[in-house]
């Protein structure tokens, strides 16, 4: 089998979120957006898909690297793309590599008629989810006050979630960031849901060391489960400093560049208690599984960043406890259970006990509505 083409289809979709000037998502009026779907084609007619991607990057870097290659040689292709990043820094991001890698895994699953998590070596068919909120806002009745977070956490608990993670206020909210206000929200959530629910904080990401320590000590008193990315992850020494002083587990790195290599350095330097990575951060399923095995070898916990079928597939193939699927981002004004128009089903359905169930269909498990994409194509 040989790869013959890489095509990116653009199509109209609907969004109910808007982005603030710093790029954070919030609820907004329903609006038209343009989505894309990357399609890897082969001479045997089998195809693999992943949402995202743009044709210019595929034409300039990806097609020269992979057309003519056997799509089952995922590891070889991934290493080639990783090496090509050195001279294509401006175009070949980890996210682009992730799109190609996931489409190749999807292709393999469709070709072999197996779900990807079983090709990876399955360990389970469902994973507990945590409710992951949008960032704080100034929308009345939204996520505008500590009590609003408390009410929303209780609603999530009633929906079945056993864990809840706050993303708190960040610029451009005029008075944000404020670590004391973050702690007020964390306290209101603990107060609302009681002692059982597992709670985590993912705050503003550029606090000083002292502010991060203040946050961590406050979370310890509230019996929080982990603290996530309170400082710039480019400063590993800051995380070593913080992790040494706190009892609450520090989780990271999430957005730091460097794939499995960065995670290895963080583990060796004891810069975090729980490692972190998602398919979009590290360049796909192939490197994320390397991080899983790295953590397993060091006896480290690892929590997967972000949702979607790629991350869910890895979670269902982990031999070490990646405890949670990150479901969201959630907000009182958004109906997360409503599927996107270009899918026939929600890719991460959750039951009443808080478990997300993985698709048993061949490939990554997106139930793509190709008729919708055809009729909404943007040329």
In the complex, the smallest distance separating the C-beta of residue 165 from Mg ion, rounded to whole angstroms, is 8
C-beta of 106 vs 233, nearer to Mg ion: 233
How far is it, in rounded angstroms, from Cα 336 to Cα 328? 7
In the complex, the smallest distance separating the C-beta of residue 280 from Mg ion, rounded to whole angstroms, is 12
In the complex, the smallest distance separating the C-beta of residue 127 from Mg ion, rounded to whole angstroms, is 17
Q: Does 233 bind Mg ion (CB under 5 A)?
A: no
Which residues, other chains included, contact 13 with Cβ-Cβ below 8 Å and sequence gap of 6+? 32, 33, 34, 35, 340, 341, 342, 376
Backbone phi, then psi, for 87, in 5-degree steps? -105, 0
C-beta of 94 vs 254, nearer to Mg ion: 254
- Each residue 163-202 as x (binds Mg ion by CB under 5 A) or -, in order, gives ---------------------------------------x
Backbone phi, then psi, for 355, in 5-degree steps? -95, 135
How far is it, in rounded angstroms, from Cα 198 to Cα 26? 24
C-beta of 9 vs 281, nearer to Mg ion: 281
In the complex, the smallest distance separating the C-beta of residue 202 from Mg ion, rounded to whole angstroms, is 4
Of 10, 60, 74, the closest CA to residue 284 belongs to 74
In the complex, the smallest distance separating the C-beta of residue 103 from Mg ion, rounded to whole angstroms, is 25
C-beta of 262 vs 359, nearer to Mg ion: 262
C-beta of 26 vs 74, nearer to Mg ion: 26
Of 120, 123, 143, the closest CA to residue 133 belongs to 143
Using CB under 5 A, which residues numbered 37 to 96 contact Mg ion?
Answer: none
Which contacts of 62-66 are long-range, i.e. CB under 8 A and separated by 24 or more positions?
62/6, 62/96, 62/100, 63/5, 63/6, 66/3, 66/6, 66/40, 66/100
C-beta of 183 vs 329, nearer to Mg ion: 329
- Each residue 196-215 as x (binds Mg ion by CB under 5 A) or -, in order, gives ------x-------------
C-beta of 38 vs 203, nearer to Mg ion: 203
- Each residue 240-269 as x (binds Mg ion by CB under 5 A) or -, in order, gives --------------x---------------
In the complex, the smallest distance separating the C-beta of residue 205 from Mg ion, rounded to whole angstroms, is 8
- Report in angstroms the alpha-carbon separations of 287 from 8, 12, 17, 88, 107: 23, 31, 30, 19, 17
User: Helix (H, G, I), strand (E, B), or coil: what is residue 131?
Assistant: strand
- Asked if residues 145 and 162 have their Cβ atoms less than 8 Å apart, the reply is no
In the complex, the smallest distance separating the C-beta of residue 328 from Mg ion, rounded to whole angstroms, is 11
User: Residue of minimal CB distance from Mg ion?
Assistant: 202
In the complex, the smallest distance separating the C-beta of residue 276 from Mg ion, rounded to whole angstroms, is 8
Q: Crossing angle of helices 146-159/179-193, nearest 10°? A: 40
C-beta of 329 vs 373, nearer to Mg ion: 329
With contacts defined by CB under 5 A, how many residues of the chain interact with Mg ion?
A: 2
Residues at the site binding Mg ion, with contacts judged by CB under 5 A: 202, 254
């Amino acid at each position: 089998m040989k790869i013959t083409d890489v095509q990116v289809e653009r199509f109209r979709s609907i969004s109910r979120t808007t982005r603030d000037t710093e790029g954070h998502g919030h609820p907004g009026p329903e609006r038209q957006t343009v989505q894309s779907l990357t399609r890897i084609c082969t001479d045997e007619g089998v195809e693999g898909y992943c949402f995202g991607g743009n044709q210019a990057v595929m034409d300039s870097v990806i097609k020269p690297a992979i057309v003519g290659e056997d799509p089952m040689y995922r590891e070889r292709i991934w290493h080639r793309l990783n090496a090509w990043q050195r001279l294509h820094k401006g175009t070949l991001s980890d996210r682009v590599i992730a799109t190609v890698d996931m489409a190749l895994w999807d292709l393999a699953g469709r070709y072999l008629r197996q779900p990807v998590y079983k090709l990876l070596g399955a360990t389970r068919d469902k994973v507990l989810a945590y409710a992951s909120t949008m960032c704080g806002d100034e929308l009345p009745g939204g996520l505008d006050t500590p009590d609003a977070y408390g009410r929303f956490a209780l609603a999530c608990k009633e929906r079945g979630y056993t864990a809840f993670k706050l993303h708190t206020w960040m610029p451009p909210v005029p008075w944000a960031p404020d670590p004391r206000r973050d702690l007020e929200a964390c306290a209101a959530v603990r107060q609302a849901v009681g002692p059982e629910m597992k709670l985590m904080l993912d705050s503003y990401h550029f606090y000083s060391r002292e502010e991060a320590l203040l946050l961590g000590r406050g979370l310890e008193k509230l019996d929080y489960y982990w603290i996530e990315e309170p400082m710039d992850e480019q400063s590993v020494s800051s995380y070593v400093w913080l992790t040494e002083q706190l009892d609450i587990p520090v989780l990271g790195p999430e957005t730091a560049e460097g794939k499995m290599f960065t995670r290895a350095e963080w583990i060796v330097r004891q810069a975090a208690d729980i490692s972190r990575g998602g398919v979009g951060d590290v360049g796909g399923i192939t490197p994320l599984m390397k991080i899983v095995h790295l953590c397993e070898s060091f006896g480290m916990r690892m929590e997967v960043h972000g949702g979607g079928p790629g991350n869910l597939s890895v979670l269902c193939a982990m031999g070490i406890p990646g405890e949670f699927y990150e479901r969201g981002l959630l907000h009182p004004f958004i109906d997360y259970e409503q599927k996107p128009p270009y899918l026939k089903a929600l890719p991460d359905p959750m039951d009443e006990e808080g478990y997300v169930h993985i698709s048993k269909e061949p490939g990554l498990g997106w139930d793509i509505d190709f008729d919708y994409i055809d009729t909404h194509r943007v040329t």
